[in-house]
C-alpha cells in the first residue's frame, strides 16, 4: 500500500527496541502513531521523545495479553484519530524458561503465549474488522523471529514455539484477507539478519504476577552485555543489526506489499533449506544437532 502523511499506525511494544524504531520511522514518514506498551514509564518517555521530534503520537498503556485492554486500545485509536491504516503486533517477550522442556514451568509457557501469540490474535480481532470495513488501504505486520519462525531454537524452545505460531497465524490471516478481497495486507516480520540491541534480554521486567515464576531460577538472568562478553571470551564474533534497519524493512515491505519481511544475508536461508530438505526427504532433523545443549 502507499504510505502517506496523515495515515495512522498502531504499534504494540512501542516503548522500546524494534517497536520504538518502527514508531519513530512511521512518524518520520508523516504518519500519526498510537504507541501501546505495558511498561508505563518507558512508554511515557518514548511518547515525549517522539513528540519532541515533532511526531503526532498517542500513547496508551495496554497489556496485549489481555483481550479487553487491546479492545480498549482500538477504541482509543479510533476515537483519537478516526482511522487505523497500519497495525504492528510487535510486543513480545522471552519466556525465561530453563532446562529441558519436561522441566519447564507452565507459567513460562503461559506468559510467553499470552504476549507473543494471544497478543497478536487480540490485535487482529480488535483492529482488522474495522480496518476492512473502512474500505481504506491497510496493512498488518506481525513480529515473529527467525528463532522459531524459520527453524526451531532448542535453546529457547518456548519463545521459538510462540514465534512459529505467529508465522502460521499470519499466513492464515493473509489467506483470509485475500478471500475477503480486503484492501488490507499482511506481513510477518523476522527482525535481523543479526541480533538486535534491545530490551528483549530483560523481558522479565514486565512479567506480571499472574504468570510469576513458580520456583526460583537455577541461574540468574543473563544480560545482553554478559552474553556479549562471554562470546568475546570464546572468540566468537557477534554482529548486530540496527533497529532502524528493521524499521526500514517494515516500511519498504508495506509499500511493496511483501508478505515475508525476511532480511537477506543472514543464517536464515541455510536454515530454511536444511529444514525443508529434511521434511521433503523424510530425514531426521540433523540441522538441530548443531545446537549445543549442555
The least CB distance from residue 155 to ligand NAD, in Å, is 14
Q: How many CA atoms lie within 13 A of 211 on its CB side?
A: 22
Show contacts with ligand NAD in window 133-152 (CB under 6 A). 143, 145
Q: Candidates 61-69, 131-139, 150-158, 211-219 — which segment interacts with ligand NAD by CB under 6 A?
A: 61-69
CA–CA separation, 62 vs 123, rounded Å? 11
3-class SS of residue 111: helix
Q: Which is nearer to ligand NAD, 7 or 198 (CB)?
A: 198
As a whole number of Å, the CA-based R_g of the chain is 19
Q: Which of 10, 34, 63, 122 binds ligand NAD (CB under 6 A)?
A: 63
**Grid cell for residue 76:** 482509543
Show contacts with ligand NAD in window 224-283 (CB under 6 A). none
Angle at 231 (CA atoms; ends 229, 235), nearest 5 degrees: 115
The least CB distance from residue 62 to ligand NAD, in Å, is 6
The least CB distance from residue 119 to ligand NAD, in Å, is 6
Binding-residue pattern over the window 159 to 198 for ligand NAD, x denoting contact by CB under 6 A: --------------------------------x---xx-x
Q: Does 16 bind ligand NAD (CB under 6 A)?
A: yes
CA–CA separation, 10 vs 178, rounded Å? 22
Q: Which is nearer to ligand NAD, 13 or 137 (CB)?
A: 13
**Grid cell for residue 221:** 538472568
Answer yes or no: 287 catalytic. no
CB 5 within 8 A of CB 30: yes
**Strand order through the sheet with 8-12:** 57-61, 32-37, 8-12, 86-89, 138-143, 184-189, 260-261
CB 221 within 8 A of CB 266: no
Binding-residue pattern over the window 82 to 121 for ligand NAD, x denoting contact by CB under 6 A: --------xxxx---------------------x------
Active site residues: 159
> What is the contact surface with ligand NAD in residues (CB under 6 A)?
12-13, 15-19, 37-39, 42, 62-65, 90-93, 115, 143, 145, 191, 195-196, 198-200, 203, 206
Amino acid at each position: 500500500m502507499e504510505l502517506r502523511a496523515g495515515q495512522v499506525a498502531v504499534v504494540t511494544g512501542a516503548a522500546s527496541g524494534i517497536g520504538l524504531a518502527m514508531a519513530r520511522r512511521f512518524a518520520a514518514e508523516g504518519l500519526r502513531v498510537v504507541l501501546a506498551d505495558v511498561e508505563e514509564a518507558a512508554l511515557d518517555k518514548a511518547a515525549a521523545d517522539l513528540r519532541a521530534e515533532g511526531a503526532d503520537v498517542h500513547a496508551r498503556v495496554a497489556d496485549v495479553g489481555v483481550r479487553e485492554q487491546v479492545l480498549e486500545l482500538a477504541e482509543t485509536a479510533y476515537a483519537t484519530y478516526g482511522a487505523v491504516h497500519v497495525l504492528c503486533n510487535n510486543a513480545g517477550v522471552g519466556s525465561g524458561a530453563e532446562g529441558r522442556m519436561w522441566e519447564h514451568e507452565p507459567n513460562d509457557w503461559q506468559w510467553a503465549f499470552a504476549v507473543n501469540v494471544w497478543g497478536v490474535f487480540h490485535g487482529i480481532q480488535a483492529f482488522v474488522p474495522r480496518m476492512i470495513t473502512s474500505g481504506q488501504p491497510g496493512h498488518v505486520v506481525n513480529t515473529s523471529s527467525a528463532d522459531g519462525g524459520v527453524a526451531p531454537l532448542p535453546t529457547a524452545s518456548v519463545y521459538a514455539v510462540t514465534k512459529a505460531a505467529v508465522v502460521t497465524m499470519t499466513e492464515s490471516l493473509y489467506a483470509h484477507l485475500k478471500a475477503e478481497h480486503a484492501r488490507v495486507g499482511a506481513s510477518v516480520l523476522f527482525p535481523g539478519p543479526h541480533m538486535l540491541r534491545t530490551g528483549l534480554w530483560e523481558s522479565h521486567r514486565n512479567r506480571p504476577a499472574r504468570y510469576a515464576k513458580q520456583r526460583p531460577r537455577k541461574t540468574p538472568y543473563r544480560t545482553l552485555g554478559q552474553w556479549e562478553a562471554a562470546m568475546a571470551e570464546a572468540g566468537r564474533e557477534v554482529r548486530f543489526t540496527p533497529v532502524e534497519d528493521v524499521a526500514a524493512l517494515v516500511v519498504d515491505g508495506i509499500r511493496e506489499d511483501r508478505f515475508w519481511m525476511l532480511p537477506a544475508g543472514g543464517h536464515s536461508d541455510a536454515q530454511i533449506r536444511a529444514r525443508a530438505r529434511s521434511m521433503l526427504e523424510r530425514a531426521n532433523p540433523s540441522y538441530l544437532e548443531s545446537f549445543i545443549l549442555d
